[in-house]
Amino acid sequence: MVIGLTYDAKADYIAEGFSSADAAEFDEPETIDAIAGALQYQGFEVCRIGKLKDLVKDLAADKRVDLVFNIAEGISGPLRESEIPLLLEAYSIPHTFSRAWQLARCMNKELCQSYLQSKGIAVPDFFCVHDIADLEKLELRLPVFAKPAREGSSKGIDANACVKNKQDLRAVVSNLLQTFSQPVMLEEYLPGAELTVGILGNGDRSRSIGAMEIEWRAHCEVPYYTLLHKQHWSDFVQMKMRTGSIAAECEKVALQAYRVLELCDAARIDLRLDNQGRPKVIDVNPLPGLHPRDSDLVMLARFAGIEYRELISEIVTGAIERNRLVLATG
């Protein structure tokens, strides 16, 4: 079987003039090499395709693969994570991770949280600001947490994200609206611990591999992930596996969210505890990072006794089984 590998190489975009913040979600060579190596170790032939434009050229030249291992985040817009999956699906080429429509729903935080809430999954109370005038309708109690409604990797989140008064709120929201040209999500601020849960598998056979707590070091200015923290996480936080009743409840809620959203192969669900110690979903990551050392899902797997090659194997095996009818007739 020939497996294509689609990705957005960070160095390529930096060379094109992207800032390090704009390229925050893109992939390091170490990640691309590690995934390719893990697939080759399993006996697959690997074809490194690259970004969307490279895939378009291959398809136009009638170059096909049996399955694509996709980690490309896309460049811009609310459908950027869906672009490669949508193109692959149009050509009936199976791929790892969730389908285009699932990725699009998760990228839109307002839509994703609304859907989870409608299905009885615990999420923070929230309000989406499309225009600064919308703040007049805000009923959430301060403090609130402000973030771009269609970003990942903590983009747009800094030390000002937890807003405690109306004057600061207007300034923070105005800045985010202007900087990112997209709606701003305001959520009730959850003061408890932050945990992330790794999920593997599909449908009723999906399972949690554990809950990892993000513990802030003493010198950390704020107790939540900012873009700076995300990029230099080991300087600001330490990760530890959480056990006990809180961890079990987080895993239960995360798995429910994964299944309700019909996600595929693997994902990572972020949660925080409210002032009564109850976990609520704050973010869904259907394309989790796979850096062999620094990505949360990889660290979670390592805590659970799952080595990197095994993690990649589970993801690709899940995709093959899920797409077996397509592969058999393709």
Query: 123: part of which helix (H) or strand (E)?
Result: none
Number of H helices, E strands in the chain: 13, 12
All residues at 6 or more sequence positions from 220 whose CB lies less than 8 Å from its CB, including other chains:
229, 236, 237
- In the block, residue with structure tokens 């945990």: 195
Biggest CA–CA distance in the chain, Å, is 60
Main-chain dihedrals φ then ψ at residue 282, nearest 5 degrees: -110, -20
Yes or no: say if 197 and 208 are a contact pair by the CB < 8 Å rule. yes
What pLDDT score was predicted for residue 238?
A: 87
Residue 58: per-residue pLDDT: 97
Q: Which two tokens stand for residue 30?
A: 């170490």
Residue-by-residue pLDDT tens, the chain, 330 positions: 999 999 999 888 888 888 776 777 788 999 999 999 999 999 999 999 999 999 999 999 999 999 999 999 998 888 999 999 999 999 999 999 999 999 999 999 999 999 999 999 999 999 999 999 999 999 999 999 999 999 876 788 888 999 999 999 999 999 999 999 999 999 999 999 999 999 999 999 999 999 999 988 877 777 776 666 666 677 788 899 999 999 999 999 999 999 999 999 999 999 999 999 999 999 999 999 999 998 999 999 999 999 999 999 999 999 999 988 454 444
φ and ψ at residue 49, rounded to 5 degrees: -90, -50
Token pair recorded at residue 286: 């259907």
Read off the pLDDT of residues 126-167 as tens digits, 9 standing for 90 and up. 999 999 999 999 999 999 999 999 987 678 888 899 999 999
Residue 174: how many CA atoms within 13 Å on its side-chain side?
A: 7
What pLDDT shows up at residue 230? 67
pTM for the model: 0.93
Domains along the sequence of the chain with CATH: 2-105 (3.40.50), 125-188 (3.30.1490.20), 191-320 (3.30.470.20)
